[in-house]
Structure 1
Amino acid sequence: MPFLDWVNKNQARASSTQVPYHLLQKEAEYGAPSENMVIQGDNLLALRALMPLYSGRVKCIYIDPPYNTQSAFEHYDDRLEHSQWLSMMYPRLVLLRDLLAEDGSIWISIDDKEMAYLKVLMDEVFGRKNFITSIAWQQRTTRENRKVFSSNHEYILLYAKNPTIFSMVRNDLHLTNDVKERYKNPDNDPRGPWQSVSANAQAGHATPSQFYSLVSPSGKIHTPPDGRCWLYTEDVMKRAIQDNRIWFGKNGSGVPRVKKFLNEAKMGLTPDTLWLAQDVGTNDFAKKHVISIFNGINRDIFDTPKPESLIERIVHIATNKNDLVLDSFLGSGTTAAVAHKMGRRYIGIEMGEHAKTHCIPRLQKVIEGEQGGISQSVEWQGGGGFGFYTLHPEPVFQANGQIRPDIKFEPLAAYIWHMETGVGSSQSMDSPLLGVHNGIAYYLLYNGILGDRRSQGGNVLTRPILAWLQAEYPHDGPKVIYGESIRIGEERLAQANVTFKQIPYDVVLR
């Protein structure tokens, strides 16, 4: 597989593993208590902060990064030199990949300027086999006569963590009115409207029981065309006829066709790769919506916000109720607003002050029951809530290798659990046993977790503490215990099947 190369690529690759670990700190809560999060801060640092808690747990990621168009936008710098743009994207994509669930997918909006390069970069980070498709979105319906070509579409690149699983769990689109109108009921079937489909199939993989003559109600005999067979075996076909599921036309002598009822149809249609403005909106439509939301609150509006109907289609295809959605380039808050209205959990990250001036006011409007965008189509009436977070200015691990003295047990426990297992912690970290993964139990002695509130109390692995751990949190297999120091010999550790790791050195050096 070809790889993309650029100036400083090695530094970009290295930086994905060297992002300092900062803690999230909650600044405010809006509406009802909720897991939903809006984070203000550098999204690279924020993604790293999320890793111990959410690694492998995000169902859908949508991002709309700066397009590197050499244009100046008010709310972010979109004039990055090409190699700088790639270096900015690479470590963020690596962290996003690791946050994605096994059945999850990532959707990225992009235009012609970087689309080809982003595709190759995504192939490298996510794997070419995990590419699902590229979607063309008609983001403008007006013609630009001042250019060589009028640019009317952008792209959305779609990758899945596991394409096989994604193909099984992704949702169809809702049936449109045009499709529903194809269902009729010419024979007044009590099961309601239906449409007919061919009753024959290709003969290449048929069994002998699929070749037979079929007598219609009028007495006319039908046989499959050359190279074809009947869709059903003769016994199944007879039962289908008796159940009035085969249509021979109004005169009863037509070519047999299978009746497919609307009330038995799947949820909808297989998504296609051309998304028209009439179905998912345009930038202009989205901008008018945002202006209506911020009327009297903000004068500064993003130049190219995405319409809620576009994000609604992505979230609908990729997720179900209560699934987790992440947008690390939150912009004016569209993804969070859509996820909120659709009953999904969400995390949004934005660097600038517009996290406060745009995202928070918009989501407050959503909580109040704002009726723009997709509100009416999803029957949104308001409610819910979200928390507003920032990043602690100092990293957990200091330059001298020590752990910041104010760090509590739970965030360090979540960090160590993720470091050892590669997965996010799905349970509260409130005991010295962090959990068992692949047959190995992990323990942490830190910050008085054993009940001794002195800073040094209970953080040293001694024989009495080992015996207590074995009695209170027994595990027959291998055990890894983190602590500040140890006063047990290697022979006793081996007998107990324990590997000891010292804080902070065995944490920081890894």
Structure 2
Amino acid sequence: MPILNWLNKEEAVTTARDCPYRLLEQVPALSYGETYTDNMLIQGDNLEALKALIPTHAGRVKCIFIDPPYNTKSAFEHYDDNLEHSKWLSMMYPRLELLHKLLAEDGSIWITLNDNEAHYFKVMMDEIFGRSNFVANFIWQKKFSPQNDAKYVSDMHDHMFCYAKHKSDFKIKKWVDINKKDRAKNLDNDSRGDWNSVDYTCNKNKVERPNLYYGIIQPNTGETIYPKETAVWRYSQETHNSNVENDLVYWGKTGKNKVPRFKKFKSEEKQEDEGSVPISILFHTEVGNTQEAKKECILFNARDPFSTPKPERLLQRVIHLSSNEGDIVLDSFLGSATTAAVAQKMNRKFIGVELGEQAVTHCQPRLRQVVDGEKGGVSKAVDWKGGGGFEFYRLGEIIFNETGSLNKDISFHSLAAHIWYGETKTSLKQQVKSPLLGVYNDVAYYLLYNGILGDKRPDGGNVLTSKVLAMLPKHPLEPKNGKKVIYGETSRMGTARLKSENIIFKQIPYDVKGK
């Protein structure tokens, strides 16, 4: 497969690997709403933030949406978007590698760009995600009127690339337009209830489907009706006769239409059949435009609205197509927090990462208003009443210092999540209050750290001894002699004893992977 090369690509390929793991430190004063929520707003460099999320969230994020700088060679107030081409590619590559690790096996990533980098980006994504996992290039109509001062062509659209982690596992949903009212009615007082009318013809011709080209009788005029030359009936003559007998053919209010329609009763429609297959052109009338997005931003920050927001209806479409309630939605270029706001309103969990003060001046106030039940954007369409909450985080110290020593402030759970990911390449999905972290591929993993066994001393129980071993929970699958990996400060048990107990001992910090 062809790959893209650029100046300093070799360095970009190793950037994610060499980025240190940092602690995420909660900021209670900027957190809001319900406590112990899974919703996270993180202030800091998104490369380091994504790396910090790997131990706890790898393979768990269902939908990723990012709106990175477009590299348009123009200065934005909240971003330096004037990156030289190779620098832009080097900035994106390691972040996409980490996003790929965070994505669930059946998850998808959606990226908005314009023509400045879109086509180079597509080649880079093929390398990282795999060409076979490309789903679509959606075209979003971001403007609805031409710019007469454009030098060459008035730019009216952006690209939105969609890739799956594994396309065979990814199921894109049909689009059900919840912004429109139910059109089902009962125009002829049918005892079976409300119905919608659908086309009685399809776009084939009588050469392709001669059995579907025949004359039917208009019951009120007696005229024999044929499809137009470029169409045929959707139903065979036998099925049509059955439709007539069951009063499923509708000839309009006067009963004298030239072409019939089929009555499809609401009560008989299956939920999975509702909606339509997504189309690759997203018209502004359906998903909003830049002008609509700016008006939404003014509602929560009239004095300093964000420069380049996306409309809530666009994010509503993405989140609906790619996730379900309770799934995690992540945006690592959060901007004005549109993604997080819409995810909250649609009952998803969210993780948002934003660099600089706009995390405090734009993102946090907007999400606070969402929790309080603000009525802008898609609130009415999704019946948002408010509720929930989020935790605000900043990037803290690195887990390992320059000498390789473990950060003394690291919590048991943070170290446990880090070790678990290093061993299994999966995230530790729950807070553990036991030295037994879990079982993976029949191996039980244990951590002796910070008095987890109940010793009041900070370093109590960190040393593996016969007494400590007896206190550890048994191997869940093989209590007598299951394979165990135990991390601790040191071991007082000899090599022969460790072997007889089927234990691999690993010393903290030397055996803990730092990258």
Tell whether the 8 Å contact from 2:251 to 2:259 is kept in structure 1 after alignment: yes
Task: Report what 1:284 is aligned to.
Answer: 291
The more displaced of 370-379 and 4-13 is 370-379
- Cα deviation, 1:398-454, whole Å, max 9, x if unaligned, reads 111110112221110011111111111112121110001121111111111112232
| 2:501 maps to amino acid | A
Return the offset for 1:103. Answer: 1.8
Task: Report what 2:392 is aligned to.
Answer: 388
Task: Report what 1:12 is aligned to.
Answer: 12
Structure 2: gaps (5+ residues): 205-210, 220-231
Return the offset for 1:291. Answer: 1.6
Task: Report what 1:190 is aligned to.
Answer: 192
Tell whether the 8 Å contact from 1:175 to 1:269 is kept in structure 2 after alignment: no
Tell whether the 8 Å contact from 2:475 to 2:484 is kept in structure 1 after alignment: no
Return the offset for 1:467. Answer: 3.0
Tell whether the 8 Å contact from 2:183 to 2:196 is kept in structure 1 after alignment: no
Identity across matched positions, percent: 48
| 1:119 maps to amino acid | K
Matches within 5 A, 1:256-267: 259-263=263-267, 264=269, 266-267=273-274
Task: Report what 1:122 is aligned to.
Answer: 125
Return the offset for 1:332. Answer: 1.1
Q: Distance in 2 between matches of 1:15 and 1:363?
A: 32
**Residue 374 of structure 2 is aligned to residue 374 of structure 1:** no
The more displaced of 481-490 and 82-91 is 481-490
Matches within 5 A, 1:57-68: 57-68=60-71
The counterpart of 2:493, out of the listed 477, 488, 509, is 488
Task: Report what 2:229 is aligned to.
Answer: none
Return the offset for 1:129. Answer: 0.9
Task: Report what 2:163 is aligned to.
Answer: 159
Taking a change above 3 Å as real, the CA distance of residues 22 and 268 of structure 1, as seen in their structure-2 partners, is same
The counterpart of 2:282, out of the listed 275, 282, 287, is 275
**Residue 147 of structure 2 is aligned to residue 140 of structure 1:** no
Matches within 5 A, 1:430-509: 430-469=433-472, 471=474, 475-476=478-479, 477-508=482-513
Tell whether the 8 Å contact from 1:171 to 1:319 is kept in structure 2 after alignment: no
Q: Distance in 1 between matches of 2:512 and 2:163?
A: 33
Matches within 5 A, 1:8-407: 8-28=8-28, 29-33=31-35, 34-146=37-149, 147-167=151-171, 170-174=173-177, 185=187, 188=190, 190-196=192-198, 259-263=263-267, 264=269, 266-295=273-302, 299-392=303-396, 394-407=397-410
Taking a change above 3 Å as real, the CA distance of residues 246 and 22 of structure 1, as seen in their structure-2 partners, is same
| 1:333 maps to amino acid | A
**Residue 2 of structure 2 is aligned to residue 2 of structure 1:** yes
Partner SS, residue 448 of structure 1: coil
Partner SS, residue 335 of structure 2: coil
Q: Distance in 2 between matches of 1:382 and 1:157?
A: 31
Q: Distance in 2 between matches of 1:497 and 1:233?
A: 74
Q: Distance in 2 between matches of 1:171 and 1:56?
A: 24
Taking a change above 3 Å as real, the CA distance of residues 328 and 470 of structure 1, as seen in their structure-2 partners, is closer
| 1:396 maps to amino acid | I
Q: Distance in 1 between matches of 2:407 and 2:394?
A: 18
Return the offset for 1:32. Answer: 2.3
Partner SS, residue 109 of structure 1: strand
Partner SS, residue 2 of structure 2: coil
Taking a change above 3 Å as real, the CA distance of residues 302 and 194 of structure 1, as seen in their structure-2 partners, is closer
- Cα deviation, 1:254-304, whole Å, max 9, x if unaligned, reads 999865334415331111111111111111121122123213xxx332222
Partner SS, residue 287 of structure 1: helix
Partner SS, residue 195 of structure 1: strand
Partner SS, residue 388 of structure 1: strand
TM-score, L = length of structure 2: 0.86
Tell whether the 8 Å contact from 1:173 to 1:270 is kept in structure 2 after alignment: no
Taking a change above 3 Å as real, the CA distance of residues 90 and 187 of structure 1, as seen in their structure-2 partners, is same
| 1:290 maps to amino acid | C
Return the offset for 1:470. Answer: 5.5
Partner SS, residue 426 of structure 2: coil
Q: Distance in 1 between matches of 2:505 and 2:246?
A: 70
TM-score, L = length of structure 1: 0.86
Structure 1: gaps (5+ residues): 203-209, 219-227
Tell whether the 8 Å contact from 1:52 to 1:424 is kept in structure 2 after alignment: yes
Taking a change above 3 Å as real, the CA distance of residues 471 and 82 of structure 1, as seen in their structure-2 partners, is closer
Tell whether the 8 Å contact from 2:62 to 2:329 is kept in structure 1 after alignment: yes
Taking a change above 3 Å as real, the CA distance of residues 71 and 117 of structure 1, as seen in their structure-2 partners, is same
Taking a change above 3 Å as real, the CA distance of residues 489 and 357 of structure 1, as seen in their structure-2 partners, is same
- Cα deviation, 1:294-353, whole Å, max 9, x if unaligned, reads 13xxx3322221111111111111122221111101111111111122221111110110
The more displaced of 78-87 and 315-324 is 315-324
